[in-house]
A and B are shown apart, each in its own frame.
Chain A
């Protein structure tokens, strides 16, 4: 009920801004296939799923998803548990390739080079080097704070100590963690609190300058204060990097995202500007979900 009130209290934007519905998404991504550009009234597209379907063996977890992800904006994926949010997110960096029996159909394109990330000819490692991922449970390596952040650089062959030092510092600053850990970079990462560990995982991604950052419910294992700090961080990061975030928390989606996609049973039900969607959803299913009548 609190959620209901909180959401309804969002100010209605003056006038009805253009609402990208599924139709315009499809338009956007076919336009993008032609000249790599999006519709004039939306920001440039960084990535887009086109008729993307996904199968865990025989089970179809995603059904023909078409969804744009706008550059340097935050796109939230919401929907009830089991609707396929994580599956979609993990497809974006080919995580599913680690397990046998998974199958992709359709495309997820990354701009500006218009690479289909799912193309078997594209090495999943190349995809993962371009797209970072932050997991639900903070998963720092059982190494020092420094080594955690430096690891992405090390596997890219960086050996110079001074370069590593600089990039580690920069990444930790970018993740709003530097002040807290500057004096103890060589201490084990697990000595940090949960929220700090999650920011460390964000720093670990930032160190290698990813083009897109994927977040899978990054605050669901954290307390409210740590959650607030992560949300604040995401808010800052949007200026530098394109963000796709899964959240089961609708207030969080409303707070941090510019665009929202509502998914249900493996389908994309509605996509739009977050403010629009929370105030005036097009589809009744979306409205039921975000008003808490179901889910």
Chain B
């Protein structure tokens, strides 16, 4: 009903504003549920594991005595595996995304690939573990190593990187591309000088989302044979002589944070539960740190990109 007079108009405005308020409250509550759940989990782990969060905890190997056990092999393992994951997934994912967006002409083949990539993102991670066990561990002979684990998780996050790359590329306005082509640039020059740099913030976001998922993955890493009890470190990636790098660590056995946690939670003693909570707290901090770094990098890249 269309109001005829001023008081009618005011009544309608009041009604509309009430609806506005109802949604605002609902949205706020929804947000609160998410935030509070995270805080509850995080704080609970923090309180439960608080006493164990000493420097020794970070520099000790696991032990049969809960009080002496630490996460040294686990956090080093996680960091190294993540390194391999990033180094393998980023170039492959970016190249695939750029190819699909800038090079491939649209046809049913690219449509098929597109559907495939999207579905790949939904494949349960244990399936990646099985695949990797057959391919990396046995067929390629990489063994139950950091290399196998890193590549497995790399495959796992590949679809995320590809999708993020494509999204980022699509947000580059066509007239920027045309400006470069009009100067006589080749497709490769446009890709190298414009497409990749301008989509970097978006790509990074995707990489970090993928890595945050990968760092917490347990199933595929156990499938390929991560150990649950490790009392040694892989060889240092920095060698004593020229060229000062050393790739022996890639072949090393390993464990990672979530597996260490899982191992401890399956022990009956209360003290190990404390260790698990402390490790969980550290794992969440590692994820938060990755996110913080990505936000920082993104901010710095994005402030120079406008159109």
- Other-chain residue from A100, A128, A143, A188 in contact with B183 (beta carbon distance below 8 A): A128
Q: Report if B307 contacts A (CB, 8 A).
A: yes
**With A139-B307, A142-B304, A190-B307 in contact, is A125–B176 under 8 Å at CB?**
no
Docked Cα-Cα span, A102 to B183, in Å, equals 21
Interface size on A, residues (CB 8 A): 28
Closest to B172 in A: A142
- Other-chain residue from B181, B183, B307 in contact with A142 (beta carbon distance below 8 A): B307
Closest to B106 in A: A100
**With A137-B175, A190-B306 in contact, is A142–B180 under 8 Å at CB?**
no
- Other-chain residue from B179, B185, B306, B307 in contact with A135 (beta carbon distance below 8 A): B179
Would you give the shortest CB distance from B193 to chain A, in whole angstroms? 7
Looking at the complex, which of A17-25, A151-159, A275-283 is the stretch in contact with chain B? A151-159
- Other-chain residue from B176, B184, B194 in contact with A152 (beta carbon distance below 8 A): B184
- Scoring A154, A155, A190 by chain B CB atoms within 10 A of each residue's CB, the highest score goes to A155
Which chain A positions have C-beta within 8 A of B198?
142
Q: Are B178 and A98 in contact (CB under 8 A)?
A: yes
Q: Are A139 and B176 in contact (CB under 8 A)?
A: yes
**Total cross-chain contacts (CB, 8 A):** 69
Q: Are A205 and B183 in contact (CB under 8 A)?
A: yes
Which chain B positions have C-beta within 8 A of A151?
180, 183, 185, 193
Residues in A lying within 8 Å of B, measured CB to CB: 93, 95, 98, 100, 125-126, 128-129, 132-133, 135, 137, 139-143, 151-152, 154-156, 188, 190, 201, 204-205, 208
Which chain B positions have C-beta within 8 A of A204?
179, 183
**With A151-B193, A190-B307 in contact, is A141–B182 under 8 Å at CB?**
no
- Other-chain residue from A93, A100, A142, A201 in contact with B306 (beta carbon distance below 8 A): A142
Q: Are A132 and B175 in contact (CB under 8 A)?
A: no
Docked Cα-Cα span, A201 to B198, in Å, equals 19
- Scoring B105, B176, B179 by chain A CB atoms within 10 A of each residue's CB, the highest score goes to B179
Q: Are A128 and B194 in contact (CB under 8 A)?
A: no
Docked Cα-Cα span, A204 to B189, in Å, equals 16
Docked Cα-Cα span, A142 to B177, in Å, equals 11
Q: Are A208 and B183 in contact (CB under 8 A)?
A: yes
Interface size on B, residues (CB 8 A): 23
Since A95-B182, A135-B179 are in contact, a sample of 16 more A-B pairs with Cβ atoms closer than 8 Å, ordered by chain A residue number, is: A95-B178, A95-B181, A125-B185, A128-B181, A133-B182, A139-B179, A141-B180, A142-B198, A142-B305, A155-B183, A155-B186, A155-B193, A204-B179, A204-B183, A205-B183, A208-B183
Docked Cα-Cα span, A151 to B306, in Å, equals 18
Docked Cα-Cα span, A139 to B185, in Å, equals 15
Would you give the shortest CB distance from B120 to chain A, in whole angstroms? 27
Q: Are A139 and B184 in contact (CB under 8 A)?
A: no
Which chain A positions have C-beta within 8 A of B186?
125, 155
Pairs across A and B, CB under 8 Å, 18 listed:
A95-B181, A100-B105, A100-B106, A126-B184, A133-B182, A139-B176, A141-B194, A142-B305, A151-B180, A151-B183, A154-B193, A155-B184, A155-B186, A156-B184, A188-B304, A190-B306, A201-B179, A204-B183
Which chain A positions have C-beta within 8 A of B180?
141, 151
Closest to B307 in A: A142
**With A188-B304, A190-B307 in contact, is A98–B181 under 8 Å at CB?**
yes
Which chain B positions have C-beta within 8 A of A139?
173, 175-176, 178-179, 307
Docked Cα-Cα span, A111 to B183, in Å, equals 20
Docked Cα-Cα span, A126 to B185, in Å, equals 10
Would you give the shortest CB distance from B231 to chain A, in whole angstroms? 51
Which chain B positions have C-beta within 8 A of A188?
304, 306
Contact with A along B292-307 (1 / 0, CB 8 A): 0000000000001111
Q: Are B182 and A128 in contact (CB under 8 A)?
A: yes
Would you give the shortest CB distance from A194 to chain B, in whole angstroms? 12
Which chain B positions have C-beta within 8 A of A201?
179
Closest to B303 in A: A188
Would you give the shortest CB distance from A264 to chain B, in whole angstroms? 26
**With A95-B182, A128-B183 in contact, is A155–B189 under 8 Å at CB?**
yes
Which chain B positions have C-beta within 8 A of A128?
181-184
Would you give the shortest CB distance from A24 to chain B, in whole angstroms? 32
* B window 9-55: CB within 8 A of A: none
- Scoring B175, B185, B304, B305 by chain A CB atoms within 10 A of each residue's CB, the highest score goes to B185
